[in-house]
Structure 1
Amino acid sequence: MSALDLETPGRVGRLRDIARHVSAAPESWGVTPRFDPVSRWYTRLFAAADHEAWLLTWLPGQSTDLHDHGGSAGAFAVVAGELTEETVRAGAGGAAVLRSASFTAGDVRPFGSQHVHRIVNASAGPAISLHVYGPALTQMTRYRLADGALRVLEIDRAGVAW
């Protein structure tokens, strides 16, 4: 499948629909969400031929680094609580800046294969989210934003970093 195929509205919409469906059926997960006071807890729920689903929990203050999904498109659904997503956008003069949006239980956020973001639980309570990626993740690049430019920190590979 080419990167162009991943960007089609139908493809991203399908991942959104899967995230919505799976997040609404916790009895199908086969696992009870757990909360870890040290770091986000996560587990892969399933993998299909063209996508996979992950369940994540977030205590207040827990977050990801800025990252991409290695060319996979996806969607995340907030199952419980509230999460804030910071996305990288071009600002004045082309400098990279962060834009924030909050999502609460029932919200689903689809994204394309070139999406760079950070997710944080900035609320006072715990949160649960379900993430669907297509194709399955093979790598993720972590970044930092410095002086209006996105800089690569590290490339994490499936089976090694997670």
Structure 2
Amino acid sequence: MIRTVQSDLLAVAARWADPAGWPVRLRFDPSERWYARLAADDEHEVWALSWLPGQGTDLHDHGGSAGAFLVVAGTLTEETVSGDQLRPHRLAAGAGRRFGARHVHLVANRGDQSAVSVHVYRPALRRMTRYHLVAGQLLVAEVAEAGVAW
């Protein structure tokens, strides 16, 4: 399958990689991970996230949305389920990841410097399911709805 630049979600993330062009000002919040929606249309939606050292997500999916994320600054660690454990992948500034609609992962800043990333989803996020990994099985912990949880 040939991807066009318009449909390649990682390429869309790269077009939003410069915080100077964002419609919101980049912030870092010491009490919780900061995020803001940068754009949305019929094709996809774009989010910016900032990560102070130690901040991260729970293990989660994207409610049936495919996506991609690009590390703009710093280093993030993505962990995916492999067998009965989580497998880490470090992503430095400039590195990105595409994922399908059934992808489950957690993302965290395990470094000592702040990090920034851009995330793109198709279709727009409507829900996210959070999980616990217990004895090699994903157990649903919570289903979060757009407009309520974020």
% same residue: 55
Equivalent of 1:145, from 126, 130, 133? 133
Relative distance call for 1:11 and 1:143 in structure 2 (3 A) is farther
Q: CA deviation at 1:26?
A: 2.6
TM-score normalised according to structure 1 size: 0.87
CA 1:37/1:146 → structure 2, altered by over 3 Å: closer, same or farther?
same
Higher mean C-alpha displacement, 28-37 vs 108-117: 28-37
**Matching residue of 1:79:** 72
Contact 2:125/2:146, CA 8 A, preserved across alignment: yes
CA contact (8 A) 2:67 2:99 kept: yes
The residue aligned with 2:143 is 155
Q: 2:19 touches 2:26 (CA, 8 Å); kept in 1?
A: no
Q: 1:101 pairs with 84, 89, 95, which one?
A: 89
Higher helix share: 1
Which structure 1 segments of 5+ residues have no match?
Answer: 1-7
How far apart in 1 are the matches of 2:3 and 2:114? 32
* CA displacement 1:15-60 (0-9 Å, x = unmatched): 111011211x333212221111111000000111121000000000
Give the partner amino acid of 1:85: E
Match of 2:33 in 1: 40
Question: For this pair of structures, how many residues does the alignment match?
Answer: 149
Taking a change above 3 Å as real, the CA distance of residues 112 and 9 of structure 1, as seen in their structure-2 partners, is farther
Whole-Å separation in 2 of the counterparts to 1:155 and 1:11: 33
| Mapped partners of 1:58, 1:9: distance in 2 | 33
Where does structure 2 lack aligned partners over 5 or more consecutive residues? Answer: none
Q: CA deviation at 1:99?
A: 0.8
Give runs of ≥4 in structure 1 deviating > 6 Å. Answer: none
Q: CA RMSD in A?
A: 1.6
